[in-house]
Structure 1
Amino acid sequence: MTRFRIDLGYRGTDFHGWARQPGLRTVQGEVEDALALVTGAPVATVVAGRTDAGVHARHQVLHLDLEAPALARLAGRGDREPGAALAARLRGALGRGGARDIAIHSAAQAPPDFDARFAAVWRAYRYRLADAATFRDPLRADSTAEHRGRLDEAAMARAAGELLGLHDFLPFCKPRPEATTVRTLFALEVARDADDALEVRLRADAFCHHMVRALVGGLVRVGSGAWPASRPAELLARAEAGEGKAALGPMSVLPAHGLVLEAIGYPDPQEFAAQARTTRARRPDIGSHQH
């Protein structure tokens, strides 16, 4: 078996998320069908972070293993190295299948202990939101959520700064059975772009289900004046004091289409195996829905 890493991106508008689902168009379904076409055998992929319906990815990462017959078919009569051949053939198969909303950035052989899901050390997302001050660019409508009224980005930034570090993000997660909601948030920044749209940029070791969209939803409550800037951090403190999900109140989860997975970070190759072991031991739910 030979392991490959594939870096790709996609526009999530017309997908029912990453994970394959019977009868629905998904990113995993399109990619694995194209891989089966070019290798002549079914191929299973492991992704860094599954995304929900409507969520986009500028840079996603997956890995897969190919047996010798698939490698031979992939090589054909060409003299390209296997990674370059895989990337080229995969682009061709996706194009012929009409999947022009998936971009294959690169493919390369990877060490056998590289794991796209468990070896990752951070994930970065961006959420774009238009308010009353924003110039509405129709070319960015598919990746921009909307809010009526003007938001106070300074108050949102103050609230964001109090959420950094290791916390129990239960107030901003949809918890899964037997899974932790403890995460380390490395960065949470709020600023306006050239069109005066609000961009919220987040980076963490991982994100539990709905965490990104719920965190941004909490910041929007601050920016609209519904919450004081201290409220998001107060909710974290209450969760860490042992209050359950029901006592913390409902989340405000923003629409999926404003969310983009921007990048995945990995350690040096000699640290892949150790990082994967650490991640599996610490958080078995990593790799579930990342937003």
Structure 2
Amino acid sequence: MRTALGVSYNGSAYQGWQSQPSGRTVQDHLEKALCAFTTLPRVSTLCAGRTDAGVHGLMQVVHFDTDIARADNSWVRGTNRYLPPDIAVQWARQVPDDFHCRASATARRYAYVLLESAVRPSLDSGRVGWMFRPLSHEAMLAAAQHLLGEHDFSSFRAAECQALSPVKDLRRIHIQRRGAYWRFEFEANAFLHHMIRNIMGCLVAVGQGLRPPEWMAEVRDARKREVAAPTFSPDGLYFVGPVYDAQWGLPDAVALMDWLPG
């Protein structure tokens, strides 16, 4: 039988989501906890979207197959018993065998939280990005418009990206400010490796007045990584979660965004 889990995590202490020989990834800890709870020698999970080192997850969705039957709340409590404090299973659901956490997703959402302050973050260290210069909301909104729609995002793609195509459909960018915090929200059918962090680097460059908003279109059309701004910090990046059709009956992560600054 197939089980889906919604997992949240603070990625500051981990080398990303995907399992590594070091064992210091979110997937390694989750699978170790599942093995401890089920007493199975191996439980293999697949995720909706892999995150890099330092990137956080509000609602990572995973699935795995096992013959062991447990109530949904038992999967949650039992697995969390063996997880470190900065990783937690939020929910569990039994799903049909044709559900696939990655292939069944119709879209994915990310959020980036940025602190604009003359002083670096302290209590928020690792949980927000930082910019010490003032940013223009109007300029960043204008620049973002050049990225909406289906484009070749090669200029925002990491060299080690394994995606088969750089063409993605970026459906939504929302930018808002609350106090000293900025929140950037992104939704697309899929994202390339480092795509959000590279877009953030360009948006911040425009927001500071280092580049005009029209420069974003030039970067997009160049399809060369070297023309874009440097990759921005992972600290404020959150994988909000995948979007699924209602037929699967899975919780949505949008409500969880309310606690984020901005």
2:169 corresponds to: 184
Query: Is the CA contact 2:14–2:54 (under 8 Å) kept in the aligned structure 1?
Result: yes
**1:122 matched to 2:100:** no
1:106 corresponds to: 91
How many residue pairs get matched?
A: 246
The 2-side partners of 1:132 and 1:51 are apart by: 27
Query: Is the CA contact 1:222–1:229 (under 8 Å) kept in the aligned structure 2?
Result: yes
Q: Give the CA deviation at 1:189.
A: 1.7
Query: Is the CA contact 1:153–1:198 (under 8 Å) kept in the aligned structure 2?
Result: no
2:230 corresponds to: 252
- The correspondence of residues 26-41 of structure 1 with structure 2, limited to 5 A, is 26-41=25-40
Computing the radius of gyration from Cα coordinates, the structure with the larger value is 1
More helix by share: 1
Match of 1:201 among 177, 185, 200: 185
Normalising by structure 1, we get a TM-score of 0.79
RMSD value over aligned CA atoms? 1.9
The 2-side partners of 1:178 and 1:16 are apart by: 20
Query: Is the CA contact 1:171–1:251 (under 8 Å) kept in the aligned structure 2?
Result: no
Unmatched runs of 5 consecutive residues or more in structure 1: 76-81, 240-244, 271-291
Match of 2:211 among 211, 224, 227: 227
Q: Deviations over 1:154-176 (max 9, x none)?
A: 10011112211111111111254
Q: Deviations over 1:8-56 (max 9, x none)?
A: 1000111111111112411001100011111121100000011111000
Residue type at the aligned position of 2:25: T
The 2-side partners of 1:178 and 1:221 are apart by: 26
Unmatched runs of 5 consecutive residues or more in structure 2: 249-262
Structure 1 residue runs of 4 or more that deviate by more than 3 Å after TM superposition: 135-139, 175-178
The 1-side partners of 2:22 and 2:120 are apart by: 35
Query: Is the CA contact 1:150–1:224 (under 8 Å) kept in the aligned structure 2?
Result: yes
Q: Measured at CA, do residues 197 and 177 of structure 1 come closer, stay the same or move farther in structure 2, by a change above 3 Å?
A: closer
Q: Secondary structure at the match of 2:81?
A: helix
**1:83 matched to 2:57:** no
Q: Give the CA deviation at 1:123.
A: 1.1
